[in-house]
Amino acid sequence: MIRIVKMEFEKEKVEEFLLLFKEYYPTISSFEGCSHLELLQDENQSNIFFTYSIWKDESYLNKYRDSEIFGLVWSKTKPLFNTKAAAWSVNKKYPN
C-alpha cells in the first residue's frame, strides 16, 4: 500500500520542518511494515511537500498512526502548516 501525504507549510517554517523530518526519518522509515519513505518537494512552490511511503498493508500504517512516535512527530509538524494536510492511500496498478 502506498501512502501519499500533501503538506503545505508557512514559508518561514519550511526549514524547521526539514530539520524535523531529517531527525525522525530513521525512526519512521524503519517502523515495522514500512519498506520505503521519501520526502518530495513541489517544483514551483517550495513550501509544499509530499511524503511517499510504502507499507506492507493498511494494518501496519494504522499501527504507525497509533504509535507514540507518530503522535510526537505530528504534534511538532501540524503547527507549521498553513493549511490542512491531505492524504491518500493507493495501490499500484501498472506495472506490477
- The phi and psi torsions of 44 (rounded to 5 degrees) equal -105, -20
Residue 13 structural domain: 2-84
- The phi and psi torsions of 80 (rounded to 5 degrees) equal -85, -15
**Closest to 25 measured CA to CA, from 57, 62, 52, 1:** 52
Rounded distance, CA 8 to CA 48, Å?
Answer: 4
Residue-wise pLDDT tens digits, 2-43: 999 999 999 999 999 999 999 999 999 999 999 999 999 999
Q: Domain for residue 91, yes or no? A: no
Q: Domain for residue 92, yes or no? A: no
Report how many helices (DSSP H) and strands (DSSP E) the chain contains, helices first.
Answer: 3, 4
Q: Domain for residue 89, yes or no? A: no
> pTM for this one?
0.93
Pull the grid cell for residue 60.
501496519
